[in-house]
């Protein structure tokens, strides 16, 4: 993905945020969104419920370990689990990445033998985004130095909810620069944003700050991914693509545990964005237990 940052210079004046928001339309209530989601599922679930698509879901997973109990041994074993599956079942497409705290990037780099699988690190003061901007940027740089190929950061939700969009964009743009050319996913924390209007605005800000992906949740302390949040985010990604010709990805994270749930997200993507988005390059699941559930269907 190219990062010439031309959109990042979009905001020229104090009315810039109102101007940016005005380029997008989304006027559904959460109840109306829920009804739309159900329509997507009713329309597409049966045709998408195939072994091929369960394998696709497996290939979209950022296999995640983000707990206080993580240690080098645990991350080593997680990495070997990915290696072993690839060796023994080459017909199953590997997970998209292994997602860990930055201090474990090197463990994966030294042990991962599956070329298709990337190293993702959460950074930038994950999960609260509450620390000094300099620390956020340094953490991103250190993670990349140790092998991170993708970085997941958190939109400053407190500043966003206070209406301080300038601070939100300044921080996101500085972290985008620190991430250089690696894939950058911006977590909106949709469970804290709650309303369609907030999810729409946060999506727009993240996209204009050159996020490669917008992601629902940290999975820490707030409700995780919901089909409703993904429907709203997909609608904004579609409008962004229609206006600027730039394809941006979406990541559903937090609480997606079963293959059946994951298939419902594919139904939404297919309806709102089309088959082009049904690829690990443009859609991910941040998950721990989903991987084991997909393997029940694949092995």
Looking at 62, 86, 136, 152, which residue is catalytic?
152
Q: Which tens digit of pLDDT belongs to each residue from 253-297? A: 999 999 999 999 999 999 999 999 999 999 999 999 999 999 999
pLDDT at 262: 98
Worst-scoring range by mean pLDDT, 8-22, 131-145, 270-284?
8-22
Choose the catalytic residue: 136, 185, 251, 270.
Answer: 251
pLDDT one-digit tens code per residue, 217-232? 999 999 999 999 999 9
Q: Is 180 a known active-site residue?
A: no
Task: List helix spans (H) across the chain.
Answer: 16-22, 30-48, 51-59, 72-88, 105-111, 133-145, 157-161, 165-179, 190-193, 196-208, 227-244, 259-272, 290-298
Mean pLDDT, rounded, for 186-214: 98
Query: Is 14 a residue whose pLDDT tops 60?
Result: no
Is 152 a residue of the active site?
yes
d(Cα 157, Cα 164) in Å, to the nearest integer?
Answer: 10
The whole-number pLDDT of residue 242 equals 98
Coil, strand or helix at 60: coil
pLDDT at residue number 166: 95
Q: What pLDDT is attached to residue 9?
A: 53
Q: Cβ of 20: how many Cβ atoms within 10 Å?
A: 19
Give the contacts of 72 (CB within 8 A, at least 6 positions apart): 104, 107
What percent of the chain stands above pLDDT 70?
95
- Residue 3 pLDDT grade (very low, low, confident, very high; cuts 50, 70, 90): low
Per-residue pLDDT averaged across 2-15, rounded?
54
Sign of the alpha-carbon torsion through 243, 249, 253, 258: positive
Q: What is the mean pLDDT of residues 175-192?
A: 98
- pLDDT value, residue 15: 83
Whether residue 18 has pLDDT greater than 90: yes
Q: Is the pLDDT of residue 25 over 90?
A: yes
Per-residue pLDDT of 144-176, as tens digits, reads 999 999 999 999 999 999 999 999 999 999 999
Q: What is the DSSP letter of 138?
A: H
Distance CA 109, CA 106 (A): 5
Beta-carbon-side half-sphere exposure of residue 157 (alpha carbons within 13 Å):
22
Record the tokens describing residue 69, joined without a space: 């109990």
Single out the catalytic residue among 136, 201, 215, 270: 215
70 catalytically annotated: no
| Mean pLDDT of the chain, nearest integer | 95
Neighbours of 7 (CB within 10 A): 15
The answer, yes or no, to whether residue 1 has pLDDT greater than 60, is: no
Cis ω for the linkage preceding 127 (within 30 of 0): yes
Alpha helices in 152-284, H assignment, sequence order: 157-161, 165-179, 190-193, 196-208, 227-244, 259-272
């Amino acid at each position: 993905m190219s990062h010439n940052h031309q959109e990042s210079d979009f905001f020229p004046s104090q009315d810039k945020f109102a101007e940016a928001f005005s380029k997008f339309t989304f006027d559904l209530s959460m109840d109306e969104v829920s009804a739309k989601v159900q329509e997507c599922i009713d329309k597409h679930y049966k045709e998408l419920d195939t072994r091929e698509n369960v394998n696709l879901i497996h290939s979209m997973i950022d296999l995640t370990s983000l707990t206080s109990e993580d240690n080098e041994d645990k991350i080593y074993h997680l990495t070997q689990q990915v290696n072993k599956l690839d060796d023994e079942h080459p017909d199953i497409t590997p997970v998209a990445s292994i997602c860990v705290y930055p201090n474990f990037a090197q463990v994966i780099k030294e042990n991962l033998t599956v070329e298709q699988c990337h190293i993702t690190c959460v950074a930038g003061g994950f999960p609260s985004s509450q620390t000094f901007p300099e620390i956020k940027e340094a953490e991103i740089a250190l993670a990349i130095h140790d092998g991170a190929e993708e970085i997941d950061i958190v939109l400053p939700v407190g500043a966003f909810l206070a209406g301080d969009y300038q601070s939100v964009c300044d921080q996101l743009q500085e972290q985008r620069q620190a991430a250089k050319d690696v894939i950058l996913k911006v977590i909106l924390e949709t469970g804290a944003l709650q309303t369609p209007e907030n999810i729409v605005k946060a999506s727009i800000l993240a996209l204009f700050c050159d996020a490669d992906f917008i992601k629902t949740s940290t999975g820490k302390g707030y409700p995780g991914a919901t089909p409703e949040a993904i429907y709203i985010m997909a609608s904004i990604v579609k409008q962004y693509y229609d206006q600027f010709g730039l394809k941006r990805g979406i990541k559903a994270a937090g609480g997606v545990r079963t293959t059946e749930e994951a298939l419902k997200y594919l139904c939404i993507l297919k309806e709102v964005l089309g088959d082009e988005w049904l690829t690990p390059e443009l859609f991910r699941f941040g998950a721990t237990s989903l991987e084991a559930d997909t393997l029940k269907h694949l092995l």
